Amino acid sequence: MRSPSSLKKEFLTKWVVGLRAWSSSSKEMGLLERKKAIKLSADVAMAAATNGTTIWSHTLINNASKDPNSKHMVQSILTSARARDQSNEPSKFPLLSPPTRCARNRVRSKKVLRKARINYIQRCSRRSAASLIAKTLVKKRTQVLKGLVPGGECMDESCLIKETLDYMISLRAQVLIMQHIAKVMELFNSK
């Protein structure tokens, strides 16, 4: 169980490391490019600042490291973490390939689910249509949520909710830090 301030500290340090890695590329970046770079480094830093047990963090880091532009930034963030905490966390994010099996499993399980559902409906024909409607509504929304949370496609419902919880906490911390930094920057630049 980590305190929220330690999460923020880690995020900030890693973010700065990542941002500095961009400057070594020594090319002029336009506004949009810079924005993308900032956002990417923030996301990767946030994912790296977690304990490394969540799926969304792994997905984020893997996706970022696939892109050749940002790969060195990701490497720098991860290596800085490892250099600092050598004893504690040897490698939380070993840069493994993302779970590709989940898509196939999902297709297979859909057929099974359909049969089970038909069975279920036949057995509980007395059940009202309202519950079925409610279920479809919930189903739609879980699909949307899966699209929102990184790596959500490969999760079942209970896992999805747990990931959403963790992701929401991390996002909130990220937003707070970025707000502070933005304010400080603007104040600094306005003088």
Find the binding residues for other proteins in span 4-43 (CB under 8 A). 4-5, 7-9, 12-13, 16, 19-20, 22-23, 29, 31-32, 34-39, 42-43
What span, in angstroms and rounded, lies between the C-alpha atoms of 174 and 8?
Answer: 7
Q: List all residues 6 or more positions away from 23 whose beta carbon is below 8 Å from its beta carbon.
A: none
Closest approach, Cβ 93 to other proteins, in A, equals 19
Strands (E) in the chain, as ranges, are: none
Toward other proteins, which CB reaches closer, 100 or 112? 112
Size of the site for other proteins (CB under 8 A): 72
178 touches other proteins (CB under 8 A): yes
DSSP string for residues in 58-78: HHHHHHHHHSHHHHHHHHHHH
* Nearest residue to 8 via CA among 180, 184, 162: 180
Among left, alpha and beta (phi > 0; psi -120 to 50; other), residue 95 is left
User: Looking at residue 128, what DSSP letter applies?
Assistant: -
For other proteins, which is the closer residue by CB, 68 or 100? 68
Q: Which is nearer to other proteins, 103 or 161 (CB)?
A: 161
Q: How far apart are CA 61 and CA 30, in angstroms?
A: 24
Is 153 near other proteins (CB under 8 A)? no
Least distance from other proteins to the Cβ atom of residue 28, Å: 9
Q: Tell me the window of 62-70, 87-95, 104-112, 177-185 that interacts with other proteins (CB under 8 A).
A: 177-185
Scan residues 63-92 and list those touching other proteins (CB under 8 A).
80, 84
- Could you say whether residue 3 binds other proteins (CB under 8 A)? yes
